[in-house]
């Protein structure tokens, strides 16, 4: 909601986020943000106490990306490890490697070198601010039940969620 409300007041947005759920948040925002300005998500794989913490430089690169006019109209972007990724296609592929985030099926949108972005492709799906997903009237997000499944699994967990009102 805040991004949609403040879209006309700023040149872009940088959102710091933990990496465990960054891909889900990026996808959700890409579907619900009605703003053509850059929305950049960033995180770190190494703690700030690490000898080679990646957070400060990732944050710098996220600001560079949000400030670049070429980043507009690309949807939500994820910036990590000198790489600009499409928030709709990004996947965390490793729990420890700094190069964990990838757009497996499409590759990165671009790379950041010395404070400049080299965009190499456009997002596979055109971002539009005319999204049918409107969160402006929501005061809270709906509950979402998660069912872990595997071959020959019981239907009991799914039935329990349905019975509980999910």
Q: Which residues are catalytic?
A: 19
Task: Give the global pTM.
Answer: 0.85
What is the per-residue pLDDT across 56-104, written as a single tens digit (0 to 9) for each?
999 999 999 999 999 999 999 999 999 999 999 999 999 999 999 999 9
Radius of gyration of the chain (CA): 18
Using one digit for the tens of pLDDT, what is the confidence trace for 10-33?
999 999 999 999 999 999 999 999
Instruction: Give the pair of three-digit tokens for residue 40.
Output: 């950049």
Residue 94, domain CATH: 3.40.50.1170
Residue 142 included in any domain: no
- Domain membership of residue 133 (yes or no) is no
The C-alpha angle 140, 141, 143, rounded to 5 degrees, equals 120
Check residue 87 and report its DSSP letter. T
CA distances from 91 to 3, 7, 36, 159 (A): 23, 26, 23, 30
What is the domain extent for residue 38? 2-119
Looking at the 3D structure of the chain, how many domains does it have? 1
């Amino acid at each position: 909601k805040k991004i949609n409300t403040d879209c006309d007041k700023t040149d872009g947005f940088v959102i710091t986020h933990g990496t465990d759920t960054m891909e889900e948040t990026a996808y959700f925002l890409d579907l619900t943000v009605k703003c053509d300005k850059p929305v950049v998500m960033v995180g770190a794989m190494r703690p700030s106490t690490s000898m080679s913490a990646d957070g400060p430089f990732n944050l710098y690169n996220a600001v560079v990306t949000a400030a670049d006019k070429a980043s507009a109209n690309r949807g939500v972007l994820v910036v990590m490890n000198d790489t600009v990724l499409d928030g709709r296609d990004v996947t965390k592929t490793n729990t420890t490697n700094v190069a964990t985030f990838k757009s497996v099926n499409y590759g990165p949108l671009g790379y950041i070198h010395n404070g400049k972005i080299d965009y190499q492709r456009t997002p596979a799906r055109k971002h539009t601010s005319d999204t049918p997903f409107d969160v402006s009237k929501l005061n809270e997000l709906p509950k979402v039940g998660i069912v872990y499944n595997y071959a020959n699994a019981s239907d009991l967990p799914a039935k329990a969620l349905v019975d509980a009102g999910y």
